[in-house]
Structure formats: C-alpha cells, structure tokens
C-alpha cells in the first residue's frame, strides 16, 4: 500500500491582458498611451508596475481597475472578459473585484474610520449590523480596531492609509490595486504600509502596485517595467526588500 501526498500550487490567472492598446485622440494629435501590452498576473502574486512618467502606468492601471476600456486587445479579469463591457457592467465588476488604494487616501472626512470602511458594503446589500461587524473585523486585520470611531483628521497619515486599505479589502476583492500608496507618507510610515502589504500577501491577497520609485517597487515579488506604452521587462524579484528590517535600520539610524 502506498500513500502519496501531492502538493499543488494551483495557478489561477486573475489578470490577463492580450495586446491591449489605448489611443487618445486630441484634436489632430494621436497619443498611443499603450501600444500593445500582454501580461498576466496569477492569484496571490505581489507585482509592481514601474516606469517613468508618461510610460502608460496610469492608463494601464485604469484599464486593469475597470475604470476605463482599452481601444484594442482583450482583457480578462477573474474569468470575465471586460474588454468591451458597458460603463454599468464595468462598475459592477469593479465593485466586486477591485479594491483601490490611492496616494491621497480618499477617505470621507466627516465619517469615522469604521463608517469609511463599511461604505462599500452598502452597495453589496448587507444589513447595517453585518456591515459594522465586517468593517470592524477588517479594521482589526489592519491593526486599527482601537481607532474605529476616529475621523480621518484625528488619525496619522499611516493610520489613514490603513483605513483606506481596510476599505479596499472589506469586500474581499480579487485584487488590491494600489497607486503610489506611499507617495504621501514619510519614510518610517512607508515601511509600516509596506509591512502591511507583506502581511496581506502572506495571507494570499493579490497585490498590484503602481510606483515610479525604485525603492518601493523592490518590496514586490515581481517587477514589470513599462516604457513608451510597452512592457520593457518583466522579472521576478527573488530578493524583495523586508520592511521590518528597513524599519529596524531606520530606528537605529535615527537613534544616533
Ligand atoms: P504614467 O502614469 O506612466 O505617467 P500615463 O498613463 O498617465 O503615464 O500617460 C501615458 C501617455 O498618455 C502620456 O503621453 C499622456 O500624456 C497620455 N495621456 C494619458 N491620459 C490621457 C488622456 N486622458 N487624454 C490624452 N492623453 C492622455
Ligand atoms: Mg501616472
């Protein structure tokens, strides 16, 4: 009698773009913001999209996040072909599949942390008590349960970004899509947010981060570089930066 144990890591494609292009026409000028981009991201990956200003990062991020449609090519998001969906259909897929994190946090100033996090659940049809419970649990997961009733202006920058990350995650999206998530934060707080991303990655979340900062991209486990609307390189980062070590080094340096 033999007993075998197989361990599989099932690779499931969450993002699959095939030759997507985006053309803007401004009067007589034609701008090919994306020329032909073919990339795929598997469930559970942590990828950074890097590139100089004007390389097409935001255009690609808007398409991946279903905020905009490509001019040509095919985009399949979690088995939905979203390439030619209407605005309403896109909005529905976006609410279900994507959690956005922005450089500027984009929290509602008059609402508490808890209310901000609970907001996406209103559209998902939960009752008030279910929303509160789910939002509280998500705040706990980002280490902020003791700040639930604070308003954004009563929180530090790092705490605000944690609230925004909790809001992005509360619906269990397929992808966490972060656009320059540390752009408005100081060095020490950036480590804090990168550490949270590390934890989310360890728990199996799929993270796509857009950044123009080399140092920030190096926290990701794969780096895709864009240039002039094309993928210039796409490489596994075998030695991602460890945010805890960075924070420790920073603390020692500032003690001196
Ligand atoms: P990045 O985010 O890497 O800086 P973008 O995706 O914002 O690059 O822009 C890529 C190119 O497309 C740039 O040349 C930019 O000027 C142009 N572009 C972006 N958005 C628009 C738009 N809505 N209308 C016209 N041109 C645009
Ligand atoms: Mg941009």
Neighbours of ion ligand 2 (CB under 5 A): 57-58
For residues 117 and 121, give the distance between their C-alpha atoms in angstroms, rounded to a whole number: 8
DSSP assigned state of 55? S
Residue 221, domain member (yes or no): yes
Instruction: Reply yes or no on whether the pLDDT at 108 is more than 50.
Output: yes
**How far does the chain reach from its first CA to its final CA, in angstroms?**
64
Cβ–ligand 1 distance for 21 under 6 Å, the answer no
Cβ–ligand 1 distance for 55 under 6 Å, the answer yes
Residue 223, domain member (yes or no): yes
What separation in Å is there between the alpha carbon of 60 and the centre of ligand 2?
Answer: 9
- What's the pLDDT score for residue 160? 96
> What is the domain extent for residue 108?
43-69+96-255
Instruction: Please state, rounded to an integer, the average pLDDT across all residues of the chain.
Output: 92
Please count the structural domains in the chain. Answer: 1
Residue 24, domain member (yes or no): no
Residue 25, domain member (yes or no): no
For residues 241 and 209, give the distance between their C-alpha atoms in angstroms, rounded to a whole number: 15
Residue 237, domain member (yes or no): yes
- What's the pLDDT score for residue 123? 81
Lowest mean pLDDT among 64-68, 69-73, 244-248: 244-248
Residue 36, domain member (yes or no): no
Contact 141, 169 (CB under 8 A): yes
44-63 pLDDT, tens digit per residue, is: 999 999 999 899 999 999 99
180-206 pLDDT, tens digit per residue, is: 999 889 988 999 999 999 999 999 999
- What's the pLDDT score for residue 7? 46
Q: Which ligand is nearest to the CA of 228?
A: 1
CATH of the domain at 246: 3.40.50.300
Q: Which ligand is nearest to the CA of 183?
A: 2
Rounded mean pLDDT, 130-136: 97
pLDDT-derived band at 10 (thresholds 50, 70, 90) equals: low
Residue 5, domain member (yes or no): no
Residue 213, domain member (yes or no): yes
């Amino acid at each position: 009698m033999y007993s075998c144990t197989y361990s599989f890591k099932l690779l499931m494609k969450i993002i699959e773009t095939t030759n997507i292009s985006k053309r803007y026409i401004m009067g007589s000028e034609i701008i090919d913001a994306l020329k032909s981009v073919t990339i795929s991201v598997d469930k559970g990956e942590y990828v950074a999209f890097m590139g100089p200003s004007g390389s097409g990062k935001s255009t690609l991020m808007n398409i991946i996040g279903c905020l905009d449609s490509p001019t040509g090519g095919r985009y399949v998001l979690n088995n939905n072909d979203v390439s030619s969906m209407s605005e309403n259909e896109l909005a529905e897929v976006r609410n279900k599949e994507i959690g956005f994190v922005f450089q500027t946090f984009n929290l509602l100033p008059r609402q508490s942390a808890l209310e901000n996090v609970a907001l996406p659940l209103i559209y998902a049809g939960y009752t008030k008590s279910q929303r509160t419970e789910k939002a509280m649990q998500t705040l706990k997961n980002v280490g902020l349960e003791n700040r639930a009733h604070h308003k954004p202006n009563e929180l530090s920058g790092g705490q605000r970004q944690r609230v925004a990350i909790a809001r992005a995650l509360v619906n269990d999206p397929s992808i966490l899509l972060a656009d320059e998530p540390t752009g408005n934060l100081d060095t020490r707080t950036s480590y804090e947010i990168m550490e949270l991303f590390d934890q989310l990655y360890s728990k199996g979340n799929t993270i796509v981060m857009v950044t123009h900062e080399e140092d920030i991209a190096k926290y990701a486990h794969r780096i895709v570089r864009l240039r002039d609307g094309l993928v210039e390189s796409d490489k596994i980062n075998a030695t991602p930066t460890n945010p805890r070590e960075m924070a420790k080094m920073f603390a020692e340096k500032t003690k001196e």
